[in-house]
Amino acid sequence: MRERNAMTSRHVENRDKFWLEEAGRLHWFKEPMVASDVSWDAEDFHIRWYEDGVLNASYQCLDRHLETRGEKTAILWEGDDPSVSEAITYREAHEEVCRMANVLKARGVGKGDRVILYMPMTPEAAYAMLACARIGAVHSVVFGGFSPEALASRIEDCGAVAVITADEARRGGKTVPLKENVDRAIERAGKAGDAVHLVLTVRVTGAKVGFEDGRDLWWHTSRDDVTKECPSEPMAAEDPLFILYTSGSTGKPKGVVHTTGGYMVYASYTHEKIFEVAEDDVYWCTADVGWITGHSYIVYGPLANGVTTLMFEGVPTYPDASRMWEVVDKHKVAQIYTAPTAIRALMREGDGPVKKTSRASLKLLGTVGEPINPEAWRWYHEVVGEGRCPIVDTWWQTETGGVLITPLPSDPMTKPGAATKPMPGIMPALVDNDGNPLDGAAEGNLILTESWPGQARGVWGDQERFIQTYFSTYPGRYFTGDGARRDEGGDYWITGRVDDVLNVSGHRMGTAEIESALVAHPSVAEAAVVGYPHDIKGQGVHCYVILNQGTEPTDALAKTLRGHVREEIGPVATPDRVQLAPGLPKTRSGKIMRRILRKIAEGHPDQLGDTSTLAEPQVVDALIDGAKQFE
Ligand code: WT7
């Protein structure tokens, strides 16, 4: 608490000074003299941090440590197969990254070019990110659980010139055909696919894959054709570092853009203060590099700080429910950072699989991605951490670059389920639906009133959409899309999204995206998708589907539609329920009343409220009746 208070007062005293001092944690080729220049007014919109500074993120994560930590493990890789692991030193990682950067360069990839990464959780995923950063190319990692269709639309949207992938990914004893998906995506992307002139493939399983001469290269052979030295490109602080696609409440996913200087300062700052990793600690974040958590807290934050970061190829329940704790013992992990959905899934297996491990090395436990229910918090604290490890429940978003609201390890751990207080330097507030500020203990919409270095700078190719999405609901302020409650002690409790975005197992999903996948099926006339509480996943996906005239509503068709969404978006979006319905509850002006659909899916048909404005009230009874199949 003391450190938090001291930092917060430093920020209050002089904000520019505070953030310039934090910038001093990085190695700059040219130190910045200005902290920020920000306007969230639509008329004159700009966000700039450290704009006169020059640096390189890859240099920051590798070269800068060579003298003092060259032989220290940078990446501790644990394979899907429990008998396989590998320690990679900072020096070795530096060499691999330089080689990969040189392969990219040799194929004409350079500063400002976009490169899609579609990777398994192997060290090469980190090398690929850092190799792009090294030469100033902008990476966009696409989670390996997305379909070729989703991959194609991202290749197209960002205008990628290269893709880095693997033959196959291994996960939980199964394989995912990454290279085959890339080939399909490039074909699907048409002209945009033709612009991809390099597919660099890492050999992981040795599966036989297609190979297009002139375009495709194997990493394990091409790495020997280049030298192990590659200078890092001096980048302006506001040059883009990466694009990461995320779902919103409308339309297709947005390519959120993060730039170099502010993002790196913020990732390093938050990683240091939240996780308190000592020089000899092994730190483990279980996220996938396909999400922002993997960017900021597997790769950029920890490596910028010279930490040993554990990278895990597998899943928490393979080969069995003890795996996570066995990995903790095997590598003497000190900090573990995971998602509530994983904790709930493991909790369900009982204490046995945990108790048979030691976990003596653990010092701190973290969670991220969704609200953690107090029961799961307590199990994590008492059973996993044996009551001696603080829990940091970190609230943030793809757009925020790093954690904004979280307990710090030295805070008293008295509020299970509360994200508690803002990081020093962060200014959250609550407003009502009209944008009026709410003071003291209150519940409302969560906004930020001031910029911070890690904030996203835009939406790739559509700055208007960026301003519209985040800065127009409450003009001049950043709207998170989340609701929150602030208690008497000033602690924040995140209550979840207040827009049409779902959070399924910590993965963000737009209902509009799933709806458009459904209506793309020839049998579907209309669809509405809502979330409902799910014991393990946090939220489940409930789809109401209206079929075309004359189409028989059968169980087989419902099943086909689930598979269809999976094909279109990817396994992460697979609907839990498909309800074939005769109609949707609409107002006389034709607007779907989602509130009613949510209540029915939640199993509260008694709480529908006023339905008198509906065009066809009788449709509601049919929907309630139809939902009974899921009880
Ligand atoms: C949304 C952002 C941030 C990395 C992973 C997800 C929800 C995130 C928490 C938390 C309650 C949380 C919010 C947020 N969320 N962390 N500790 N407590 N809710 O990133 O995919 O951009 O999703 O995840 O609803 O808006 P994302």
In tens, the pLDDT along 157-190 reads 999 999 999 999 999 999 999 999 999 999 999 9
Burial 394-417 (b: 16+ CB within 10 A, else e): bbbbbbbbbbbbbbbbebebebbb
Q: How far apart are alpha carbons 52 and 557 in whole angstroms? A: 58
Atom 8 (ligand 1) nearest CA: 369
CB 135 within 8 A of CB 110: yes
Cα(216) to centroid(ligand 1), Å: 37
For the residues of 473-488, what is the DSSP string, one character each? Answer: TTTTSEEEEEEEEE-T
Cα(610) to centroid(ligand 1), Å: 32
The tokens describing 417, both together, are 């389920």
Cα(245) to centroid(ligand 1), Å: 15
Residue 121 neighbours by CB distance under 10 Å: 27
User: What percent of the chain shows pLDDT beyond 70?
Assistant: 100
CB 428 within 8 A of CB 486: no
List pLDDT tens digits, range 89-108: 999 999 999 999 999 999 99
Q: Does the beta carbon of 419 lie inside 6 Å of ligand 1?
A: yes
Give the side-chain half-sphere CA count within 13 A for 338. 25
Cα(152) to centroid(ligand 1), Å: 26
Q: Does the beta carbon of 286 lie inside 6 Å of ligand 1?
A: no
**pLDDT-derived band of residue 587, with 50, 70 and 90 as boundaries?**
confident
User: What is the mean pLDDT of the segment spanning 301-313?
Assistant: 98
Q: Does the beta carbon of 254 lie inside 6 Å of ligand 1?
A: no
User: What is the mean pLDDT of the segment spanning 513-534?
Assistant: 95
List pLDDT tens digits, range 416-465: 999 999 999 999 999 999 999 999 999 999 999 999 999 999 999 999 99
Superfamily of domain 1-430: ANL, N-terminal domain (3.40.50.12780)
Strand pairing partners for 395? Answer: 405
Strand pairing partners for 117? Answer: 141, 164
Q: Does the beta carbon of 482 lie inside 6 Å of ligand 1?
A: yes
Q: How far apart are alpha carbons 101 and 103 in whole angstroms? A: 5
CB 525 within 8 A of CB 544: no
User: What percent of the chain shows pLDDT beyond 90?
Assistant: 94
Q: How far apart are alpha carbons 30 and 490 in whole angstroms? A: 39
Residue 293 assigned as binding residue: yes
Q: Does the beta carbon of 165 lie inside 6 Å of ligand 1?
A: no
Q: How far apart are alpha carbons 342 and 318 in whole angstroms? A: 12
Mutation choice for ligand 1 from 146, 291, 337, 396, CB with most ligand atoms inside 8 A: 396
Cα(64) to centroid(ligand 1), Å: 32
pLDDT of 556 > 90? The answer is yes
Q: How far apart are alpha carbons 469 and 177 in whole angstroms? A: 35
Indicate which atom in ligand 1 lies nearest the CA of residue 506.
6
What phi and psi, each to the nearest 5 degrees, are found at residue 115?
-125, 125
The tokens describing 274, both together, are 């939240």
Atom 21 (ligand 1) nearest CA: 508
For the residues of 32-52, what is the DSSP string, one character each? Answer: -S--EEEE--GGG-EEEESTT
CB 245 within 8 A of CB 7: no
**pLDDT-derived band of residue 298, with 50, 70 and 90 as boundaries?**
very high
For the residues of 357-385, what is the DSSP string, one character each? Answer: S--TT--EEEEESSPPPHHHHHHIIIIIS
Residue 508 assigned as binding residue: yes
Residue of 99, 345, 49 whose CA lies nearest to 218:
99
Residue 205 assigned as binding residue: no
Strand pairing partners for 174? Answer: 171
Cα(280) to centroid(ligand 1), Å: 30
Give the side-chain half-sphere CA count within 13 A for 455. 28
Residue 578 assigned as binding residue: no
Indicate which atom in ligand 1 lies nearest the CA of residue 501.
25
CB 234 within 8 A of CB 56: yes
Residue 403 assigned as binding residue: no
What phi and psi, each to the nearest 5 degrees, are found at residue 469?
-70, -45
CB 404 within 8 A of CB 428: yes
pLDDT of residue 544: 98
| H helix count then E strand count, the chain | 22, 31
pLDDT of residue 230: 98
pLDDT of 613 > 90? The answer is no
CA 273 to chain centre: 20
List pLDDT tens digits, range 213-224: 999 999 999 999
Q: Does the beta carbon of 304 lie inside 6 Å of ligand 1?
A: no
Residue range 505-630 forms a domain whose CATH class is alpha beta
User: What average pLDDT does the structure give for the chain?
Assistant: 96
Three-state DSSP class for residue 601: helix
Residue 519 assigned as binding residue: yes
For the chain, the structural domain boundaries read: 1-430, 505-630
CB 114 within 8 A of CB 145: no
pLDDT of residue 506: 87
Atom 6 (ligand 1) nearest CA: 369
Q: Does the beta carbon of 246 lie inside 6 Å of ligand 1?
A: yes
Cα(354) to centroid(ligand 1), Å: 26
**pLDDT-derived band of residue 578, with 50, 70 and 90 as boundaries?**
very high
Assembly ipTM: 0.99
pTM of the predicted protein model: 0.96
Which residue has better confidence, 3 or 415?
415
Indicate which atom in ligand 1 lies nearest the CA of residue 399.
22
List pLDDT tens digits, range 386-410: 999 999 999 999 999 999 999 999 9
Three-state DSSP class for residue 118: strand
pLDDT of residue 488: 97
Q: How far apart are alpha carbons 545 and 552 in whole angstroms? A: 12
- Residue spans of beta strands (DSSP E) within 249-404: 254-259, 282-285, 308-312, 333-338, 364-368, 391-394
pLDDT of residue 419: 97
Atom 17 (ligand 1) nearest CA: 395
User: What is the mean pLDDT of the segment spanning 358-373?
Assistant: 96
Cα(396) to centroid(ligand 1), Å: 5
pLDDT of 363 > 90? The answer is yes
**pLDDT-derived band of residue 588, with 50, 70 and 90 as boundaries?**
confident
CB 292 within 8 A of CB 244: yes
Atom 24 (ligand 1) nearest CA: 369
Residue 421 assigned as binding residue: no
Q: How far apart are alpha carbons 36 and 33 in whole angstroms? A: 10
Cα(68) to centroid(ligand 1), Å: 35
**What would you measure as the largest C-alpha separation in the chain, in angstroms?**
74
Residues composing the chain? 631
The tokens describing 34, both together, are 């200005």
pLDDT of 251 > 80? The answer is no
Residue of 264, 331, 227 whose CA lies nearest to 26:
264
Q: How far apart are alpha carbons 475 and 166 in whole angstroms? A: 44
Cα(415) to centroid(ligand 1), Å: 18
pLDDT of residue 248: 82
Q: Helix 511-519 crosses helix 555-568 at what angle (to 10 degrees)?
A: 120
The tokens describing 53, both together, are 């500074």
Q: How far apart are alpha carbons 548 and 260 in whole angstroms? A: 49
Cα(292) to centroid(ligand 1), Å: 10
Atom 5 (ligand 1) nearest CA: 369
Direct distance between the N- and C-terminal alpha carbons of the chain, in angstroms, rounded to an integer: 46
pLDDT of 250 > 80? The answer is no
Residue 505 assigned as binding residue: yes
Atom 14 (ligand 1) nearest CA: 397
CA 541 to chain centre: 19
Q: How far apart are alpha carbons 380 and 342 in whole angstroms? A: 11
Three-state DSSP class for residue 158: helix
Q: Does the beta carbon of 292 lie inside 6 Å of ligand 1?
A: yes
pLDDT of residue 459: 98
Comparing 1-430 with 505-630, is the CATH topology the same?
A: no
What phi and psi, each to the nearest 5 degrees, are found at residue 116?
-90, 135
Q: Which helix (H) or strand (E) holds 292?
A: helix 292-294
Q: Does the beta carbon of 297 lie inside 6 Å of ligand 1?
A: no
Q: Does the beta carbon of 274 lie inside 6 Å of ligand 1?
A: no
Cα(395) to centroid(ligand 1), Å: 6
Give the side-chain half-sphere CA count within 13 A for 374. 6
